[in-house]
Structure formats: structure tokens, C-alpha cells
């Protein structure tokens, strides 16, 4: 059954294939256009560099009027990522707009990796280290980058 949400997701997927943004990729699971697997590569010149992080995106029939639920499957140490992988990002909550597509969601999450918002922490330890002890924060990030290689 083709619904507006499913048609939009097909367009998003085609756009991702035809014009893939740097450092991110995503695709629907084999038999469910509403459930996507995505990968974000850690941005260069950041503690996340060389990391390969898996995410899952779950869409509802209300997409694009409502944002998908997006979470990291890979282990993540970041001020704006909850222990369960949930992501605290304004465009996935109160700043959502139907103009966002899968590509823009993934690139926003990628830029959040290097530009966290410690004032809205999902992980208070990561936020505290980010603000008070950058070296220790970066050590913990590098450790999760290394675990990301083993789970690819």
C-alpha cells in the first residue's frame, strides 16, 4: 500500500542514492520502508574521526509531518545521546520541519557529534567532561570509536 509517508520515504531514499552526502548513508530495511538502517562516519579532525556508527530510524505514517525516532545502535559517548542510544537534537523534537529529509537528519546528527549542546545534556557525565575536562572526554570518545570498528 502506498501512502504519502511511504512515497516520501522512497523519494528520500532515491535522493540519498543519487546525491549521497559525505560521511552518512542510510537505506530502508529489506521488507519495511518505515524502518531504516543508517551509518554515520565520524567527522574528520574530531575525536570521532574514523568511527563508524550505526543508527536505526523508525518512521510513522505521519512522516514528514512528524520526525522519525532515531537512535544509535553503536555504543556512543556524547553529551546529547542517551544511554539507550536516543538522540537529544532539536530538529528531532521541537524544531522539526517537514522540509527535513533523511539526508538532512543524518548530516545534522553527524555535525552534532563534533558540536554538542552541553546545556541540554542527555548524558550528564559526557556533558560535564566536555565542558570541564576535554582531554578525558576525548579519551572516552576515542575508546568508543575503537569499539565501533569491531561492530561493523
Positions annotated as catalytic residues are 88
Phi, psi of 130 (to 5 degrees): -55, -40
HSE, side-chain direction, 13 A CA sphere, residue 141 = 25
Q: Which residues pair with 53 in a beta bridge?
A: 40
Number of helices (H), then strands (E), in the chain? 4, 4
SS3 5: helix
Amino acid at each position: 500500500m502506498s501512502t504519502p509517508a511511504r512515497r516520501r520515504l522512497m523519494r528520500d531514499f532515491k535522493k540519498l542514492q543519487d546525491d549521497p552526502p559525505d560521511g552518512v548513508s542510510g537505506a530502508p530495511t529489506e521488507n519495511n520502508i518505515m524502518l531504516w538502517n543508517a551509518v554515520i562516519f565520524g567527522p574528520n579532525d574530531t575525536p570521532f574521526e574514523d568511527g563508524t556508527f550505526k543508527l536505526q530510524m523508525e518512521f510513522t505514517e505521519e512522516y514528514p509531518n512528524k520526525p522519525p525516532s532515531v537512535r544509535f545502535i553503536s555504543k556512543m559517548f556524547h553529551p546529547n545521546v542517551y544511554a539507550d542510544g536516543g538522540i537529544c537534537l532539536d530538529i528531532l523534537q521541537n524544531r522539526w520541519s517537514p522540509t527535513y529529509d533523511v539526508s538532512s537528519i543524518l548530516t545534522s546528527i553527524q555535525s552534532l557529534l563534533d558540536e554538542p549542546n552541553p546545556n541540554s545534556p542527555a548524558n550528564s557525565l559526557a556533558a560535564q567532561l566536555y565542558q570541564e575536562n576535554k582531554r578525558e572526554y576525548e579519551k572516552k570518545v576515542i575508546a568508543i570509536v575503537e569499539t565501533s570498528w569491531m561492530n561493523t
